[in-house]
Amino acid sequence: MKRVVIGVTGGIAAYKVCDVVSLLYQRGFDVTVIMTRAAQKFVTPFTFQTLSHRKVYTDLFDEGSYDPSHIYLADHADLLLIAPATADVIAKMAVGIADDLLTTCVLALKAPVMIAPSMNDNMWNHPTVRTNLAALGSRGAMCVAPDVGYLACDRVGAGRLPAPEVIVAAVEKFLGPGEGRKFAEGQKG
Ligand SMILES: Cc1cc2nc3c(=O)[nH]c(=O)nc-3n(C[C@H](O)[C@H](O)[C@H](O)COP(=O)(O)O)c2cc1C
């Protein structure tokens, strides 16, 4: 089964990534979610745990585990998808900051990285963000470009996270289709 580790960062579009996780799960991918501290202000780990059917990782210093999570998760991934990717995580990745579980995992990773940035249009067009994105692109990171459309700051512009189906299609284009899952019709038991 193809393994997708999804890094969820603290953008308002984090709620859309619930659907990305569910769709990938339904299509037969093994999905494991890492959340930043800011992401947990928008969506709870419990939501992702339920949708992915897996433990959600939030803490670099997990005292309940002797196996460092950032190494386990990095070794576990066929693809690391970061969605939504904040301006902050893009900047950290561009310079190699590793101050939480997700960014430390990024440095320990051999698998490819795909980012789906999402932010206010002025942030998206900021020269620093553009420079950081170019740096990631030059190192092979794939990017699902944001749409132009309604933004949560109540204006229209570039920076809107694409629909979940678009992000899932980008993952499947890269990894190939999932194995699918069979679900019983009607009630369990
Ligand atoms: C209501 C609200 C919405 C936000 N939405 C975004 C966003 O869509 N994109 C973004 O880059 N930052 C956004 N931020 C700012 C990030 O949460 C902030 O930069 C944070 O430090 C990101 O941390 P992380 O990258 O570790 O998740 C938002 C902040 C608030 C308070």
**Pick from 48, 17, 33: which is nearest to 168 by CA?**
17
Q: What is the pLDDT of residue 74?
A: 87
For 10-128, strand residue ranges (E) read 30-35, 79-85, 113-117
The one-letter code for the residue type at 34 is I
pLDDT at 189: 59
Would you state the pLDDT for residue 72?
A: 84
Pocket of ligand 1 contains residue 88 by CB under 6 Å: yes
User: Of how many residues is the chain composed?
Assistant: 189
What global pTM score does this model have?
0.96
pLDDT of residue 64: 80
pLDDT at residue 63, rounded to an integer: 80
User: So which residues are the catalytic ones?
Assistant: 153
Question: How many CB atoms are closer than 10 A to CB 183?
Answer: 7
In testing the pocket of ligand 1, which one of 86, 95, 100, 151 has its CB within 8 Å of the most ligand atoms?
Answer: 86
Task: Indicate if ligand 1 lies below 6 Å from the C-beta of 39.
Answer: yes
Q: Say what the pLDDT of residue 188 is.
A: 65
Tell me the average confidence (pLDDT) per consecutive run of 10 residues in the chain, 189 residues long: 97 98 98 98 98 96 84 92 98 98 96 98 97 98 97 94 98 95 80
Token code pair at residue 90 = 């893009």
Residue-wise pLDDT tens digits, 4-13: 999 999 999 9
Domains of the chain and any CATH numbers: 3-175 (3.40.50.1950)
Q: Which of 147, 76, 146, 139 is nearest to 113 (CA)?
A: 139
Q: Ligand 1 mean position to 88 CA, how many Å?
A: 7
Quick check: CB of 101 below 6 Å from ligand 1? Answer: no
Closest by Cα among 111, 113, 88 to 100: 88
For residue 150, give both structure tokens.
């309604």
